[in-house]
């Protein structure tokens, strides 16, 4: 796939000007409570959030991190304190189950007897999303004593991120799976940003400097995944230097680019606008949180609301409910999706570096 012509960009920019002012229509508190209450049914007494309330247990801390963020949004949306308390119980569980190397295992077995599998899907994204969850929790509670108590678990989670950190600023998915995934490394970036914010709150100047240095390394590494000829990101970079260049399936190809649009790209950037249009054209029926986030940020917002409507009717697992809850208050997702506005092709902040126009690519 090649880039669209400059005329397409002009039309997209005009659409974005209208899109930016559109507020999110409200969803009933009853619908929000129904989703949040389902998550509470999935939560074990010790705080772990399973994927379902079934006796046969399937629990993935990465998914639970995302689900707990949804509980925070449910608390903000409904003022129901039990949702915040449930998120805090989950964080307590995670803190108590971090391995010495900073990783956290999945759990199987039965609800009455959860058993760690001894494995995990990734060693980078689990701790990164946990750190983001801790920062978002503090932003809501403003409880500095709680943040201080959580800090040792955040430091250990940083060790999990660094477990597979490479000289190019990217992480492998796990020690025995040496692939650098775009999605994981974007979540690592957000987790490091959250960690730096936490360190600022606790006046840990040395770690602020260190972690900001790693963020710059990560930014440079992410550039390796940008495919200029195709006008999109590769989903993965393999150890031999080859890129995963396919753009055939929403997961992982389209979703990875939606991650980039939502997490780091500037909605005013003409190249990023074209990428958004390419994702929408290639995957018009995709309906998950990441497509919602990219559409809410880049537009068109009516399409984002259509995605949210589909998500409302497809909530089989606790994570589905958590991600749906995050769509209810997109303005509260600003740390995740507004804190950075990098511009393509060089992933430079606005007003710095050199950016070529699309017509020259």
> How confident is the model at residue 103, as a pLDDT?
98
Q: How far apart are CA 23 and CA 332, in angstroms?
A: 12
Contacts of 185 by beta carbon, 8 Å cutoff, 6+ apart: 124, 170, 171, 218, 221, 222, 225
| Among the listed residues 279, 280, 328, the one whose alpha carbon sits nearest the alpha carbon of residue 308 | 328
Q: Is the pLDDT reported for residue 20 higher than 50? A: no
> How confident is the model at residue 23, as a pLDDT?
55
pLDDT digits (tens, 9 = 90+) for 62-79: 999 999 999 999 999 999
Is the pLDDT higher at 95 or at 13?
95
Both ends of the chain: CA-CA distance in Å?
Answer: 13
> How confident is the model at residue 1, as a pLDDT?
35
Domains of the chain: 31-360 (1.50.10.10)
> How confident is the model at residue 200, as a pLDDT?
98
pTM of the model: 0.91
> Helix, strand, coil proportions of the chain in percent (round to 5)?
60, 10, 35
Mean pLDDT throughout 26-43? Answer: 95
> How confident is the model at residue 11, as a pLDDT?
36
Query: Mean pLDDT lowest for which of 106-120, 215-229, 347-361?
Result: 347-361
Q: Is the pLDDT reported for residue 356 higher than 80? A: no
Is the pLDDT higher at 114 or at 3?
114
pLDDT digits (tens, 9 = 90+) for 81-111: 999 999 999 999 999 999 999 999 999 999 9
pLDDT digits (tens, 9 = 90+) for 241-266: 999 999 999 999 999 999 999 999 99
């Amino acid at each position: 796939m090649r880039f669209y012509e400059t005329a397409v960009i002009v039309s997209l920019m005009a659409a974005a000007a209208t899109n930016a002012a559109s507020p999110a229509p409200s969803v009933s508190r009853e619908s929000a409570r129904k989703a949040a209450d389902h998550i509470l049914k999935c939560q074990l007494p010790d705080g772990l959030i399973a994927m379902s309330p079934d006796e046969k247990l399937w629990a993935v801390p990465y998914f639970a991190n995302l689900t707990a963020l949804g509980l925070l949004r449910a608390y903000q949306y409904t003022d129901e304190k039990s949702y915040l308390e449930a998120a805090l119980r989950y964080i307590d569980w995670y803190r108590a189950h971090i391995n010495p190397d900073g990783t956290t295992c999945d759990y199987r077995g039965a609800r009455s007897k959860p058993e760690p599998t001894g494995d995990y899907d990734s060693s980078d994204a689990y701790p990164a999303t946990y750190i983001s969850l801790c920062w978002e929790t503090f932003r809501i509670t403003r409880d500095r004593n709680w943040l201080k108590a959580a800090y040792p678990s955040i430091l250990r989670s940083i060790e999990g991120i660094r477990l597979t950190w490479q000289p190019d600023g990217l992480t492998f998915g796990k020690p025995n799976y040496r692939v650098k995934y775009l999605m994981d490394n974007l979540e690592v970036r957000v987790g490091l940003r959250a960690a730096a914010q936490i360190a600022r709150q606790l006046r840990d100047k040395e770690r602020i400097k260190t972690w900001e240095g790693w963020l710059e390394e990560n930014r440079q590494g992410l550039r390796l995944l940008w495919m200029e000829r195709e006008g999109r990101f590769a989903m993965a970079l393999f150890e031999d230097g080859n890129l995963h260049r396919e753009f055939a399936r929403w997961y992982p190809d389209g979703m990875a680019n939606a991650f980039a649009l939502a997490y780091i790209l500037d909605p005013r950037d003409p190249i990023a606008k074209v990428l958004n249009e390419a994702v929408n054209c290639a995957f018009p029926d995709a309906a998950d949180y990441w497509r919602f986030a990219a559409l809410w940020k880049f537009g068109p917002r009516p399409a984002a609301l259509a995605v949210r409507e589909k998500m409302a009717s497809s909530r089989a697992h606790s994570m589905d409910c958590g991600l749906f809850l995050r769509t209810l208050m997109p303005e509260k997702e600003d740390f995740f999706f507004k804190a950075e506005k990098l511009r393509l092709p060089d992933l430079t902040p606005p007003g710095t570096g050199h950016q070529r126009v699309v017509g020259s690519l």
